[in-house]
Amino acid sequence: DRYLLVHRIGVGAFGQVYRAEVRGDMGFVSDFAVKVLDSNVVADNPNVARQLGDEARILSQLDHPNIVNVVDFKHIEHAVLGNVYFMVMECVRGTDVATILRRQRSISEANPATAVLHMGLMVSDALAHAHALESRDGHQLCIVHRDLKPQNLMVNFRGQVKVLDFG
């Protein structure tokens, strides 16, 4: 009841991602992205909910400008939908790298080498940060992105790359 789903922005194998709003006092509105697991998938494979919970818990510990921020994870029992699990993340305003590549190919234009290098440096720095993350007791967690692809790299309108969906 805190997050108002505004419109769907993506569909994956286990659920959907929505742009959502949180409204507060005196006209306060803030946008988020909410990944909602399909309750049928959860019913067939309860491990999917545990995996999303693990992803949310781990990503919420990462503090890096090129990794999407995770701010909440919830499980609610809905009278009609059943068990609903969702992860709340910052809403990245921009486009994914796959779309950028398609647009560049459609106009037969090569990607500028400096832009590709700049994006690659941001992604590699984010992945190195995730891999070096230590647990609260000082053990290195060695987080590895299990689904790195152009669709999971968002470029915001300031040119900053955000790594999404660690899987």
CB 33 within 8 A of CB 90: yes
Pairing of strands 94-96, 82-90: unpaired
Q: What is the H or E stretch that residue 15 is in?
A: strand 15-23
**Sequence-separated (6 or more) residues with CB below 8 Å from residue 9:** 17, 18, 19, 33
Q: Which of 54, 72, 147, 165 is labelled catalytic?
A: 147
CB 153 within 8 A of CB 163: yes
Q: Which of 160, 163, 155, 162 is nearest to 97 (CA)?
A: 155
Is 31 among the residues known to form the active site?
no
Q: Which of the residues are catalytic? A: 147
